[in-house]
A and B are shown apart, each in its own frame.
Chain A
Amino acid sequence: AQSVAQPEDQVNVAEGNPLTVKCTYSVSGNPYLFWYVQYPNRGLQFLLKYITGDNLVKGSYGFEAEFNKSQTSFHLKKPSALVSDSALYFCAVRDVASGNTPLVFGKGTRLSVIA
């Protein structure tokens, strides 16, 4: 079985400060990992993904995430937060060897960047 956890419902950060949104996962084999962002009344937008290779993945809008196999984590980071980064962020996982099983999403973390 595969699962993903986002332990924080809400993350507050001041504009200009670094931000981290946490994600941990559980799969029986190796994972494909994704981050998506959802702005109010919009669909999900892809930010970045880890498939294989470099553990540090760079994505859209200055976001990056680090795959840590030993800690089964894929935390999303940005060095300097913008007010416009305020949104709902979803981590998702799929087991590489899982056949037709679907992508599993976390419950989401609401990021609020305060000016």
Chain B
Amino acid sequence: DTAVSQTPKYLVTQMGNDKSIKCEQNLGHDTMYWYKQDSKKFLKIMFSYNNKELIINETVPNRFSPKSPDKAHLNLHINSLELGDSAVYFCASSQRQGRETQYFGPGTRLLVL
């Protein structure tokens, strides 16, 4: 009964490959997010969806494409992976934007070789 879950937990792949990370929340929230945490632990928003609609897209290369099939799921597809994409990717959700608390998933550790 995990609130925000992500799969896979670890992902090791070669440069140039395409990969997807899945996220699901069972909190009934309307808003979902993808964050990237780099090796120095800096946390940066990538995308935000509200009721399946993209509302935030923060200067992320277009190799990254989020997809929200329904408001409980937000998947992240990455094309042509590069070494610099190695990071931990966190999914999060909140009831709405603004003052609402965000709840984070456990993270997906991506290593591009």
Contact = CB atoms under 8 A, between A and B. Distances in A.
B45 interface: yes
Interface string B64-79: 0000000000000000
Nearest to A50: B99
Nearest to B46: A102
B102 A46 contact: yes
Contacts of A94: 98-99
Interface string A15-52: 00000000000000000101010100111111001010
Contact of A103 (B45, B90, B107): B45
B8 to A, nearest CB: 14
Given A34-B101, A49-B101, A100-B56, A43 B41 contact: no
B101 A46 contact: yes
The size class of the interface chain B forms with chain A is 20 to 34
Contacts of B105: 43
Contact of B45 (A44, A46, A51, A102): A102
B93 to A, nearest CB: 11
A88 interface: yes
A77 interface: no
A100 B99 contact: no
A44 B42 CA distance: 12
A51 B98 CA distance: 10
Among A38, A103, A107, A108, find the residue whose CB has the most chain B CB atoms closer than 10 A: A103
B55 A103 contact: no
A41 B41 CA distance: 11
Closest 10 CB pairs of A and B: A43-B104, A102-B45, A44-B104, A105-B43, A32-B99, A51-B99, A43-B106, A100-B55, A46-B101, A108-B41
Interface of A: 32, 34, 36, 38, 41-46, 49, 51, 88, 90, 94, 96, 100-103, 105, 107-108
Interface of B: 4, 33, 40-45, 48, 55-56, 58, 90, 92, 97-99, 101-107
Given A44-B43, A44-B90, 7 more contacts: A41-B107, A43-B4, A44-B102, A45-B104, A46-B101, A100-B48, A103-B102
